[in-house]
Amino acid sequence: MYIGLSSLRTRTHFVFPTLFPKPKSSIFSLLTSSTSSSMSYHKELAAAKKAASLAARLCQKVQKSLLQSDVQSKLDKSPVTVADYGSQAVVSFVLEQELSGDPFSMVAEEDSGDLRNDGAQDTLERIRVLVNDTIASENAYSVSPLSAEAVLAAIDNGRSEGGPVGQHWVLDPIDGTKGFVRGDQYAIALALLDQGRVVLGVLACPNLPLAPLGVQNSASQTGCLFSAVIGEGTFMESLDGSSPVKVNVNPTGNPEEASFFESYEAAHSSHDLSSSIANKLGVKAPPVRIDSQAKYGALSRGDGAIYLRFPHAGYREKIWDHAAGSIVVTEAGGIVSDAAGNPLDFSKGKYLDLYKGIVASNQKLMPSLLKAIQDSIDEKAASL
């Protein structure tokens, strides 16, 4: 159902049109050099899948009993639930247990600052209980229940700045928090950087159906786990542990057949610009709007052929919002770049240095897609 053409896995060189601003390097060249020097990350992959699956279990439990009192507020006013903190603590704990003895560095979205404030004791206690219950449910770790301070320390393991040297885990404990609060799509997104390159990615998507979007029914099983290691392809399995199935991006070269994904929230991406691009390409299908990096997972298995994200001026993309999803798509035969065709650079710390936005598609559509993007950007600028 999800298996595409094997030719999509071939990494070929392509020179993008010169109308785009200063491409740093060919994204095809980057992919070629990455796969040629790949090494085994099987131990890290097993740990990442276990960590993300357990964190998903915690998040599912919280989502079922979500109350307004669960929602915290950070300085940027985005909602943060007890599941965010609990998920990060679980992932941190599992990775340290499974990879004990290895140097551990993690770049993650949350820190314990708000939980150390006066008045947060009840919230912290709920997180502590959730974390310990989740760890105990695995029956694999003979450790005493974590104290509140140990949970705070686990959360704060995510304070690394990342960078181009060494290995760094990259985590978004709940990507798509607004979707989580609404009861819609969200993902636990975990990736591994090695010398600044994304070499491994796992997406746990508890509410994403295993059947392709648009064809599932009320009886469709939900809960997908996507995983990718550089040079080894992308696989999907159920969160309950079914056998992994190799997936590939949609192979279409016809824009009229190419449905596209974009952010559910208009505040997260310019829907008007995406609509203009779709019109220039000749895309007939309406956009599929869902939260989180679940879009990357759905794209990797061919549910759609294009993903567009154009944040509003002044917004800086964080690496945890795209690291896992980008390798899941590229290892499925796709391409992920900025709006000028530049490969995403995860080696510069917590933020991505981008031209305009992020684009993902297959190799056949990408050249015409990039041209439509630049034409739409120029047209919008001329109208101001």
Looking up tokens 């510069």, which residue turns up? 348
Residue 256, burial from CB neighbour count under 10 angstroms (0-12, 13-18, 19+): exposed
For residue 317 the two structure tokens come to: 């993309």
- Determine how many CB atoms are found less than 10 A away from the CB of residue 134: 22
- Is residue 76 annotated as part of the catalytic site, yes or no? no
**Strand locations in the chain, DSSP E?**
71-73, 79-81, 106-108, 167-175, 187-194, 197-209, 222-229, 234-238, 245-247, 260-263, 288-290, 306-309, 335-338, 358-361
- Is residue 84 annotated as part of the catalytic site, yes or no? yes
Maximum distance among all alpha carbons in the chain?
64
Annotated binding site for Mg(2+): 109, 172, 174-175, 321
Looking up tokens 């000028």, which residue turns up? 340
Catalytic residue chosen out of the listed positions 81, 84, 252, 338: 84
- What residues does 142 pair with on adjacent strands? none
Annotated binding site: 109, 172, 174-175, 321
- Determine how many CB atoms are found less than 10 A away from the CB of residue 19: 11
Q: How many alpha carbons fall within 13 Å on the CB side of residue 294?
A: 29
Question: Positive or negative, the Cα torsion across 151, 155, 160, 166?
Answer: positive
DSSP per-residue string spanning 5-32: -GGGG-----PPPTTSS--SS-HHHHHH
Question: Positive or negative, the Cα torsion across 360, 363, 365, 367?
Answer: positive
Cα→Cα distances 46→136, 150, 170, 277, 291, Å: 19, 24, 16, 39, 26
Report the first-to-last Cα separation within the chain, whole angstroms: 46
CB 48 within 8 A of CB 192: yes
Catalytic residue chosen out of the listed positions 81, 123, 134, 177: 177
* Helix pair 121-138, 82-98: axis angle to 10 deg: 40
Give the contacts of 283 (CB within 8 A, at least 6 positions apart): 255, 256, 258, 259, 260, 306
What is the set of active-site residues? 84, 177
